[in-house]
Structure 1
Amino acid sequence: MITQCIYCNHTKLYKLANGHLKCALCKRKISPAKIEKTKNIINAFCKNLTAREASKECKCSYMTAKTHYDQIRLLITQYLEEQYNKHAGEIKEFDEYFYLEKSKKKSENTIFDIQNFLTFDYGGKVYNILMPSLRKYRTHLLDDGMQHKYYNQLSRFITFRRVAKLEHLDNTIIKFWNFFEESIKRYRGVDKEYFIYYLKEVEFKFNYNIEEQKNILYSLYLT
């Protein structure tokens, strides 16, 4: 039951003939059914259901669930940026990570699909910065037969030239990477254009427990 305005938190609401509510203070209209549907989709997102699974559980169309999921990921990305900016001075450790889907790891040509990001630990939470992609060089280097050379050079770089500041081997960053590798499997491949949003989704779910996730997303999405 809605007991206060989701926009201004005023507690005096009027019920309209169509079932909607109207705030006595800000005069905005509120649809309880729409809010309930949004909350159900947020809950499905926090339970790690895909958009298709969410559409079945929430009894809505796939496009409705997907639109909500896209908006949730955008809000999460903005929220995590704000939180990091508030605590950037608390960074304790950082390290870099090279991610490539398991199915692509045996081919030299897929070197250009590697996603490289830096992970920072601030107060037990993580923040990730996605580094520039090598993909823009793909056509040129494949035409010149240079992929073998770059594959070997990158392998050596990953092994010997890591950018890191770690105080302990058992640390928050390593735990996040393990969590990320397990979480990203559910999507069976992520388009390069949208990888940052899935990375931020995993970051969000690592940083906050499920109840915290719901409360944050209710606040972000419904106000």
Structure 2
Amino acid sequence: KCARCKKKFSPAKIKTDLELIKCFCENLTVNESSKKLAISYTTVKKRCELFRQLIASFLEEEYRDKTVIEYDEYVYLEKSKKKIKENIFDAQNFLTFHYENKVYNLLMPNLNKYKNQFLEDDAGEAYFKEFSKFMIYNKISKTQKRENLITQFWLFFEKSILKYKGVAGKNFFYYLKEIEFKFNYEKNEQEKLLKELFTLS
């Protein structure tokens, strides 16, 4: 029982939460964590969602007032969607900033809300071709070298996001922030920080 707030804490629940944090930082999926700890899939899923929310808030605060060294824009589209031109509207567009040997990502507005409008207007092949060129060449960018911390993060992101086998657009921000967190911090630091954030939540 907490002397300050009088809230009761179950030692077993605390132990489970700490084990879940460890699983999360070890990149286990919800299903793998559920089986390993013998707890329900729903419980693990809700905890992981909370971890991502805590991480996102922490990273926003961490980045505040930092000096940016360089930045670049990235367009992400799931591999399974790349063959269909209309899926360009499902792409996730974000800016990656390099600061103090870390990265910070700013998710840009989603284009999906314009999809039906353009399909109804029957824009045709020429439109999609020009739009794809625009997405590729009209980038916001300020980098010193072709290979840099930002491009290292993008490679890490592309590899990491595959684990989830598709992420709903409304949740993409939180998965992006999870991957940013895991890129910026070593596993032991991740566990320490997440335990602190969880304890304070």
Shorter-chain TM range is: over 0.9
Q: Secondary structure at the match of 1:49?
A: coil
Any stretches of 5+ residues in structure 2 without a counterpart? none
Q: Distance in 2 between matches of 1:165 and 1:93?
A: 5
Q: Distance in 1 between matches of 2:118 and 2:195?
A: 47
Task: Please report the RMSD computed on the Cα atoms of aligned residues, expressed in angstroms.
Answer: 1.4
Letter in 1 for 2:19: N
Determine the structure 2 residue equivalent to 1:164: 141
Determine the structure 1 residue equivalent to 2:129: 152
After superposition, the C-alpha distances for 1:81-117 in whole angstroms (9 at most, x for unaligned) are 00001x42x2100000000001111111101101100
Determine the structure 2 residue equivalent to 1:125: 102
Determine the structure 1 residue equivalent to 2:68: 91
Contact 1:111 1:147 in 2 (8 A): no
Query: 1:159: how far off?
Result: 3.6
Q: Distance in 2 between matches of 1:214 and 1:166?
A: 32
Determine the structure 2 residue equivalent to 1:192: 169
Which of 1 and 2 has higher RCO (CA within 8 Å, sep 6+)?
A: 2
Contact 1:45 1:69 in 2 (8 A): yes
Q: How many residues align?
A: 200
Q: Give the helix-richer structure, 1 or 2.
A: 2
After superposition, the C-alpha distances for 1:186-208 in whole angstroms (9 at most, x for unaligned) are 11111011011111110010000
Distance change >3 Å, CA 137–CA 26, structure 1 → 2: closer
Distance change >3 Å, CA 150–CA 99, structure 1 → 2: farther
Q: Give the strand-richer structure, 1 or 2.
A: 1
Q: Normalising by the residue count of structure 2, what TM-score does the alignment of the two structures yield?
A: 0.94
Determine the structure 1 residue equivalent to 2:150: 173
Q: Secondary structure at the match of 2:83?
A: coil
Q: Secondary structure at the match of 2:61?
A: helix
Query: 1:151: how far off?
Result: 2.3
Shifted more, 90-99 versus 140-149: the winner is 140-149
Determine the structure 2 residue equivalent to 1:216: 193
Q: Secondary structure at the match of 1:176?
A: helix
Distance change >3 Å, CA 150–CA 184, structure 1 → 2: farther
Letter in 2 for 1:187: Y
Any stretches of 5+ residues in structure 1 without a counterpart? 1-21
Q: Secondary structure at the match of 1:121?
A: strand
Q: Distance in 1 between matches of 2:85 and 2:141?
A: 26
Q: Distance in 1 between matches of 2:127 and 2:76?
A: 16
